[in-house]
Amino acid sequence: MNYKCVLIDDEQASLNIMSSMVQSVPGLELAGATIDPLKGVQMIRDLKPDVVFLDIDMPMLSGLDIARLIQSDTRIVFCTAYPQFALDGHEVEALDFLLKPVPFNRFMRTVERIFKQKRIHPAGDDVNDYIYVRTDHNSKYEKVELDELEYIEAKGNYVALHSTSNRKIMTHTSMESMEKQLLSDNFMRVHRSFIVALSKIKLIEYGRIILKGAGREIAIGENYREEFKERIKLKLISPK
């Protein structure tokens, strides 16, 4: 079970650097990152991260403003290019202050402090690595390991769960309740009839997804496109 992190910084470059540092440390999970301070506040509310890395000098809402809005047990690490801000920040209780550009070894000192904190979502609360699926009327339930689940397809009143090694399980339920069941960040509805495991994607092109393994092709529905783009944005290395 990892420490959930959210990053808020109005400069994309700084966000990229912090994201890659967070992702490189086992035990930290990048739950969200945004250049939009308003979205950031929402993210903190929705995700209840253990730690938020917060830029101070942003328009609309400064990092200090956001820090004052945080009600939960989320700990704050301020990131700033202004050394003077470190002083102001003492009005708000912070776990650490990082000066930009942030060197990796300095970041690791912050990580040590994070690991000494109590997690907001303790382990055991979050054993979401498998689900049971009812497969016939005689109350037979089959176990589906989530890391093997590739995609889910709507079939009338049923959905089909496709796992690696061509295992397919049919169950009587709706896509909506499947979505709710799969709490993991890895699953995403991309079409009226499809939910995919993001980790199983091989490539994305012209509004469709090709999965690893058997190379199954899945269309991205018009209504799901924006959200999909948003979800994969952090992983995108866009051409200059």
Partner 1 sequence: MKVEKHIIQQKYLQASINPHFLFNSLTMLIDQARNSSREALAENMTHLSEIMQYAVDYGDGSEGLVTVTKELYHLEALLKIFACRFPGITVYNYHIRGERQAYLIPPLSLITIVENAFKFGDLGLYGRPLDIAVTFQENLLLFRCVNMKRTINNKERMSAGMGLNNLQSRLDHYFHGRYRMDIIDTNEVYDILLTIQP
Site residues, partner 1 (CB under 8 A): 10-14, 16-17, 20, 35-36, 38, 56-60, 62, 64-65, 81-85, 88, 99-101, 237, 240
What is d(CA 171, CA 80) in angstroms, rounded to the nearest whole number?
51
Helices (H), 89-151: 104-115
CB 111 to partner 1: min, Å? 19
Distance CA 154, CA 76 (A): 42
* Nearest approach, Cβ of residue 48 and partner 1 (Å): 24
Give the chain's largest Cα–Cα span: 68
Bin 74: left if φ > 0, else alpha if -120 < ψ < 50, else beta. beta
Q: How far is the CB of 240 from partner 1 (least distance, A)?
A: 5
The nearest distance, CB 102 to partner 1, in angstroms, is 8
Cβ-based nearer residue to partner 1, 88 or 179: 88
Q: How far is the CB of 75 from partner 1 (least distance, A)?
A: 21
- Residue 83 vs 122, nearer CB to partner 1: 83
**How far apart are the C-alpha atoms of 25 and 113, rounded to whole Å?**
13
Residue placing its CB nearer to partner 1 in the complex, 25 or 178: 25
Contact 157, 172 (CB under 8 A): yes
Q: How far is the CB of 175 from partner 1 (least distance, A)?
A: 33
Distance CA 151, CA 174 (A): 14
Residue 122 preceded by cis peptide, ω within 30: no
Our CB check for partner 1 shows the closer of 83 and 156 to be 83
How far is the C-alpha of 109 from the C-alpha of 102, rounded, in Å?
A: 11
Compare residues 66 and 161 and give the one whose CB is closer to partner 1: 66
Compute the half-sphere exposure of residue 190: CA atoms within 13 Å on the CB side of its CA: 28
> For partner 1, which is the closer residue by CB, 85 or 151?
85
